[in-house]
Amino acid sequence: MAHRLQHPFCRRSAARNQVASTPTGIQGKGIMKTFKHLLIAAAGSMLFAGQAFAVPVQTGSETSLQQILDDIAVDGDNFIDVNDDQFSPSSFWKVQGSGGSFSQIIIEITANSSSNTLGIFDAADENNRVELYSGADTTGSKQLIGFSASNEVILGLDGNTGTFFADSLFGFYLDTPNGIFYSAPGLNEGGQQRSVVYQGNDEEVIQIADSSSGVWGSNEYIFGWEDGTDQDFQDFVFIAESITSVNVPEPSELALALFGLGLIGVGVVARRSRRTDPTLAI
């Protein structure tokens, strides 16, 4: 039997005709599948975008946050890089199994030092707050916080505050003449990040104020706060131990995620409509 050779141009034309003859429904399914996957990925990214963002820490004429961390390191060279090693998520926290969290002020470098106060707020209501440090507290001031079984905030060993949180989930706040700033960016004007956090590595030896030196444990976190506009995050620096970060999406992040999921729903409805009405096929 004789075989007829097909010119390369003819083969390409046939391939194009085959693609063109593919049912539009199949093409539509492929497009919708890709669209849905992209939306799911986008929704997931938006959900955690706020928590993963690292804010640039600036330096100026005052002692920088990096220098502060280096100064408390016994060897004079802290393993932490203030820009590269920011801990996340850092909006909300819980006290660990010991039932209490010890904290201590490392330093406060701000013109507002006599008026700034720092405390914790109820994750369910940012207006429900308990002050930990007043304007009179300075470097080396210490505090112990805990929660009773009924979620009453306890200060010290037996200091009942009479303030109850909805849960033992809390965030930190800094009350300043410029306003109240929260560890959860979504609660700040413009979604600004007002604090940066760093986690110990169970190796670095540090010494704070007149306390004895010791290993900076992985359950200990240093917080640096910004009370103005220069973004140096050394206006109020403290360390807290025996706390655990809890990943709770903030309202703004949930809104973005729900928006993405809503788009997925619109796509699904549109695909079903095309199935029932061929005139709507892509």
Q: How far apart are the first and last CA of the chain?
A: 44
**Alpha-carbon gap, residue 64 to 155, rounded angstroms:** 31
pLDDT band at 249 (very low <50, low <70, confident <90, very high): confident
pLDDT tens digits for range 107-131:
999 999 999 999 999 999 999 999 9
Q: How much of the chain, in percent, has pLDDT values that exceed 70?
A: 70
User: Span 240-247, mean pLDDT?
Assistant: 97
How far is residue 27 from each of residues 14, 102, 242, 267, 282, measured CA to CA in Å?
19, 61, 55, 15, 8
pLDDT of residue 49: 42
Q: Which residue has better confidence, 132 or 259?
A: 132
| Statement: residue 36 has pLDDT above 60 | no
pLDDT of residue 180 exceeding 90: yes
pTM above 0.85, yes or no: no
Q: Is 51 helix (H, G, I), strand (E, B) or coil?
A: helix
- Apex CA 146: angle with CA 143 and CA 152, to 5°? 120
